[in-house]
Structure 1
Amino acid sequence: MDFLQQLGPVALGSRLRRLSEYLTGEATSIYADYGLSFQPRWYPVFYLIAHRPGISSNEIAEQIGHTHASVSQIVKELVGNGLLAMTPDRQDQRRRLLALTPLGHEVLPQLRAQTDDVRRSMQALLDAAEVNLWQALDRFELQLQQQSLRQRVADARHQRTAAPVQLRDFRPGDQPVFRQLNEEWISRYFKLEPADLKALDHPEEYILEPGGCILLAELNGQVVGTCALIKMEDGHSYELAKMAVSPAAQGQQIGFLLGQAAVQRVRDLSGTRVYLESNAILKPALALYRKLGFQDLAEPNPSPYARADVQMELLLS
């Protein structure tokens, strides 16, 4: 499948740019077929001047919705190719009036014939596609005039960041998302190990039934984060493990909220110590643990994970 198609509306600009490049390439070939030495981007400027001799660059920019700099560059190229002439406005010497040269008038009839053929062909193409693309573009541009894309994205960002994060306990049916979130980050940096698979594939048996718990974070009804507390053999310590936050939801303090809730849960369970294992390359995670109050162990413990080169603990009073 086309990658831009997979991305959907977020890639609209790239999709339109690709279509524009295709149509521009076709237009260049069509001009050549008609014996015209003409650039597609000249067309709206040249055609407008042909219909309104004496118009200025500023007026053209307003009429076709291009920047003044873009119009000025096209005018310069048309003048350089002998198709346009500029004359000072008698009432305002700073203003330049534009008109076709004799060569421009020679080109115009052939350009009009080509335009008529293109118009009929494009209309047939739109009819075959069964879509009023021109009307849709009018409506799309009207929406952007009412509220810019930048403002719309800012509003969406505000809604996302302002949405309340809900924390809850693991429920039957949560195992797939619990595994997915953890497998995603583990596979990004390391590889899944047998100890991972036991906990991720059978969380009830290896985490919940021995006395631990799993917390999930929901945003707009979707699970975006998780962490587990595994009860350790001494009966009063819990291992903080399998903490993961979806990349799409990062930057919203969800990991910190999960960590706080996990520490509080250990207190509620009358635990006195929280232990965790990590890796030195996971600097944001280590910073989060230290923010929660964890400290590095002076003497490392044996670990079932090959990737574990950092061990930390938080003692609860």
Structure 2
Amino acid sequence: MYLPSLAQLALGSRLKSLSDHFYAAVDEVYRTCGAGVESRWFPVLRFLWENGETTVSDVAQAIGQTHSAVSQLADKLVDAGLVCRNKDILDGRRSLLALTDQGRSSLAALGPIWVAVRRGIVKSLGEQGLETLLDALAATEAALQERPVVDAMLAEHAVLASASLEVVPYAPALKEHFYRLNAQWLERHFRIEDIDREMLGDPERYVLTPGGAIFFARLDGEVIGTCALLHESPGVYELSKMGVDETFRGMGAGRRLLAAAIAEFHRRGGKELFLESNSRLKTALRMYEQAGFVMQPAVRPGSHYERADVYMVYQPVQQGAGG
């Protein structure tokens, strides 16, 4: 599935999807059993049932929703005849929420349904799975209460905004990152072929010794991307093994690495620069095209890669002479 691959970036979307799933499931049970309530009403109705007449602010604080959201939900419950608004005798400027007789009667009839919901969730998730989920939710709520996530995100953004992105050449201490960064995208989209395993496991032998080069992108000291310039034959080079850590996409590391490899190709007086890729990697292909690589009508003759169905050759735009 796509959303799980985005990890932290899709946390809100995945939680919303799960929330919508459970809301819809319980609503279907309510409808089938003839209950005149909706699952999204449950927290407010249950709180009023257990605590009696109270303010919108108290309800909002208790169930972790905004004052505005609870007030709007209260309006729906009033329209449904389940809740009423009473004037606060101690403060005439505010109202108190309370269950109506219809509301109390409706909730009293929900006992068997709530038991069925509890049992059904246990059977669906398993006792251990449910316990793990509830413990994780409790831990998450406590952590967010102690360390607000917006503050944490903005603090990290400030660090990244002031950090410098640099491209550095290969060093033995960086060898493990050459494998890590490439294995990440290969395992996600394809598989690690034998030729990949050899080159990634011993880049000095298969890239540097034959006359190639390896570059790394580093952000605030953290290695986030890499690429290789392979020496194919006299004057002929291959751009290969381009990989950027998925958690750092969109920060320009790929373009900086590509520019560094092209610059090295020119510095060496190269005559031909090509790459092989796959048509599924749309974002990467657009970046290559913008850098001057041109799609060829067929795959490269004698390609070493099973996954390669794209062959591109670097054809920089030639500047015309001035008049």
* Pairwise same-fold verdict (TM > 0.5): yes
CA distance, structure 2, for counterparts of residue 127 and residue 252 of structure 1: 46
CA distance, structure 2, for counterparts of residue 130 and residue 105 of structure 1: 29
Cα offset, 1:204, TM superposition: 8.8
Tell me the equivalent position of 1:168.
Answer: 169
- What RMSD in Å do the two structures reach over aligned CA positions? 5.0
Q: 2:84, 2:100 within 8 Å by CA — same for their partners in 1?
A: yes
User: Cα 1:284–1:148, aligned 2, differ >3 Å: closer, same or farther?
Assistant: farther
The percentage of aligned residue pairs carrying the same residue is 23
Tell me the equivalent position of 1:49.
Answer: 48
User: Cα 1:87–1:153, aligned 2, differ >3 Å: closer, same or farther?
Assistant: closer
Tell me the equivalent position of 1:224.
Answer: 225
- Partner deviation per Cα, 1:48-89 (whole Å, 9 max, x = no partner): 112222211121111111111211121111111111121211
User: Cα 1:252–1:40, aligned 2, differ >3 Å: closer, same or farther?
Assistant: same
User: Cα 1:312–1:167, aligned 2, differ >3 Å: closer, same or farther?
Assistant: farther
Q: 2:44, 2:59 within 8 Å by CA — same for their partners in 1?
A: yes
- Partner deviation per Cα, 1:213-267 (whole Å, 9 max, x = no partner): 525124367472447598xx9xxxx999949784846645786688689979999
Q: 2:215, 2:226 within 8 Å by CA — same for their partners in 1?
A: yes
Residues 1:311 and 2:318 aligned together = yes
User: Cα 1:34–1:261, aligned 2, differ >3 Å: closer, same or farther?
Assistant: closer
Cα offset, 1:311, TM superposition: 3.1
CA distance, structure 2, for counterparts of residue 282 and residue 239 of structure 1: 18
Letter in 2 for 1:138: A
Tell me the equivalent position of 1:18.
Answer: 17
Tell me the equivalent position of 1:58.
Answer: 57
Q: Show the 5 A alignment for 1:164-313.
A: 165=166, 167-169=168-170, 214-219=213-218, 222=223, 224-226=225-227, 242=239, 246=244, 248=248, 251=251, 285=291, 308=315, 310-311=317-318
* Aligned-partner SS, 1:85: strand
Count of residue correspondences? 267
Cα offset, 1:142, TM superposition: 1.4
Tell me the equivalent position of 1:84.
Answer: 83
Q: Show the 5 A alignment for 1:104-115.
A: 104-115=103-114
User: Cα 1:14–1:28, aligned 2, differ >3 Å: closer, same or farther?
Assistant: same
CA distance, structure 1, for counterparts of residue 111 and residue 65 of structure 2: 22
- Partner deviation per Cα, 1:157-183 (whole Å, 9 max, x = no partner): 556663774612488x89x87xx79xx
Tell me the equivalent position of 1:132.
Answer: 132
Unaligned runs of 5+ in 1: 185-202, 287-304
**TM-score (ref. length: structure 1):** 0.61
User: Cα 1:113–1:206, aligned 2, differ >3 Å: closer, same or farther?
Assistant: closer
Letter in 1 for 2:25: E
CA distance, structure 2, for counterparts of residue 59 and residue 206 of structure 1: 66
User: Cα 1:66–1:113, aligned 2, differ >3 Å: closer, same or farther?
Assistant: same
* Aligned-partner SS, 2:110: helix
Cα offset, 1:110, TM superposition: 0.5
Cα offset, 1:309, TM superposition: 5.1
